[in-house]
Amino acid sequence: MNLTQVTYFTLTGYFETKVFNHLLFLILLCLYVLIIVSNVLLIVVICMTRSLHEPMYLFLCSLFVNELYGSTGLFPFLLLHVLFDVHTVSLSLCFLQIYCVYSYTTIEFFTLAIISYDRFLAICYPLQYSTCMTFNRIAILIAIMWLLAFLIVTGTIVCSLSLKLCGNIINNVYCVNYSIVKLSCGDTTPNNLYGLFVTAGTVFVPLTLILFTYMKILKVCFSGCKQTRQKAVSTCTPHVASLLNFSFGVCFEVLQSRFDMSSAPNIPRILLSLYFLTSQPLFNPLIYGLRLSKIRHVCKRQFRSDLQVIHMFCLNFSKNITPHQKNVSI
């Protein structure tokens, strides 16, 4: 069987839910709606509030956009499979999902690395920070990050499309590139070499940069005053939590795709696999919205303003309706 004969893939990671399909569909739909609402809310808050037009918050805005992009690469496919109980996916849609998932992962690591570099400049070189992080440089960094991620993943897709396949079974609930590589009955050396290059460039290089910046930040914190330490902790804690959360999901997904885990319980394995793509879009808006005081204060102020508008509308409505009610009663 070669690639021209493979028109679809069968996803065997789904477990039988039968009568619970609709309940599972509603749970997944609620999660997806929550992801969209929370991330869009923070994007709107950052874009509409002039005081948040600072480098760190612009990078966070890019991060929230990526969360929407990554979750959209998973949830529509997942919801359709659960609702209609169909576990096959066409060749083109499978590679489209791989493109979305892998570019999302790459952009996530790049963004976390840039945020750590931004915190490094703000804490270690506060006097030069405004000249180093100008709006033009921020825009260029974000554009390069996204374009580079798309180019890297395009290379991955091109390498996989050239493979000759001897099967169409993917043991997961979504398409994974390495699962397709394992189905090949030809030479996969170019794919493996490119995969190592991509892993080094998209995972180890960003993690090395993050480790370097935090070593410098810790050095400044230990030698600085109490105010410097408090600033570092308040701004770096959400970033560290987000990095650890995402790294855990990526590590499990890599282990699952590279090694045979068929002996592991199916349900926990699938849930952990989904954790990789659902945890960050849910976790980041929560951790950044609660931990960063500026975003928290802006959200509180906007919420109070909305309540006042609603209250004034209700008062005006009651004043307009009361005379009419009196006339009717008379």
261 band by pLDDT with thresholds 50, 70 and 90: low
Contacts 24+ apart (CB under 8 A), 149-154: 149/103, 149/106, 149/107, 149/110, 149/202, 150/103, 152/103, 152/106, 152/198, 152/201, 152/202, 153/99, 153/102, 153/103, 153/106, 154/99
- Separation of alpha carbons 94 and 264, rounded Å: 25
273 band by pLDDT with thresholds 50, 70 and 90: confident
Percent of the chain with pLDDT over 70: 82
Contact 278, 328 (CB under 8 A): no
- Separation of alpha carbons 79 and 24, rounded Å: 9
Contact 106, 202 (CB under 8 A): yes
Query: What mean pLDDT do residues 121-147 have?
Result: 90
- Here the tokens at position 60 are 């966070």
Rg (CA), the chain: 24
141 band by pLDDT with thresholds 50, 70 and 90: very high
Q: What pLDDT was estimated at residue 17?
A: 63
Phi-psi category of 257—alpha, beta or left, where left has phi over 0 and alpha has psi -120 to 50?
Answer: alpha
Q: What pLDDT was estimated at residue 170?
A: 87
- How many Cβ atoms are within 10 Å of 229's Cβ, its own excluded? 16
- Separation of alpha carbons 72 and 78, rounded Å: 10
Looking at the predicted structure, is the pLDDT value of residue 222 above 90? no
**Top-confidence residue, 256 or 176:** 176
- Separation of alpha carbons 112 and 315, rounded Å: 47
Percent of the chain with pLDDT over 90: 29
- Here the tokens at position 90 are 């066409």
Packed helices 91-124 and 135-161: angle between N→C axes, nearest 10 degrees: 150
Q: Using DSSP bridges, classify how beta strands 8-11 and 169-170 pair: parallel, antiparallel or unpaired.
A: parallel
Packed helices 75-84 and 21-48: angle between N→C axes, nearest 10 degrees: 160
Looking at the predicted structure, is the pLDDT value of residue 324 above 60? no
Q: What pLDDT was estimated at residue 11?
A: 87
- Separation of alpha carbons 173 and 74, rounded Å: 9
Give me the residue label for tokens 């080094």: 200
Q: What is the pLDDT of residues 294-311, one digit of tens each?
A: 676 676 666 566 556 665
330 band by pLDDT with thresholds 50, 70 and 90: very low
Q: Can you list the domains of the chain with their CATH numbers?
A: 3-291 (1.20.1070.10)
- Separation of alpha carbons 135 and 145, rounded Å: 15
- How many Cβ atoms are within 10 Å of 302's Cβ, its own excluded? 15
Q: What is the pLDDT of residues 35-84, one digit of tens each?
A: 999 999 899 888 888 888 889 889 999 999 999 999 999 999 989 888 88
Paired residues of 88 in beta bridges: 10
Residues with Cβ within 8 Å of 306's Cβ and at least 6 positions away in sequence, in order, are none
- Separation of alpha carbons 14 and 81, rounded Å: 9
Contact 60, 288 (CB under 8 A): yes
Q: What pLDDT was estimated at residue 250?
A: 87
Q: What is the pLDDT of residues 144-187, one digit of tens each?
A: 999 999 999 999 999 998 888 888 888 888 898 888 888 888 88
Q: What is the pTM of this model?
A: 0.86
322 band by pLDDT with thresholds 50, 70 and 90: low
Q: What is the pLDDT of residues 281-295, one digit of tens each?
A: 999 988 887 766 667
Query: What mean pLDDT do residues 210-235 have?
Result: 80
Buried b (16+ CB within 10 A) or exposed e, 142-179: beebbeebeebbeebbebbeebebeebebbbbbbbbbb
Coil/strand/helix, residue 25: helix
Coil/strand/helix, residue 184: strand
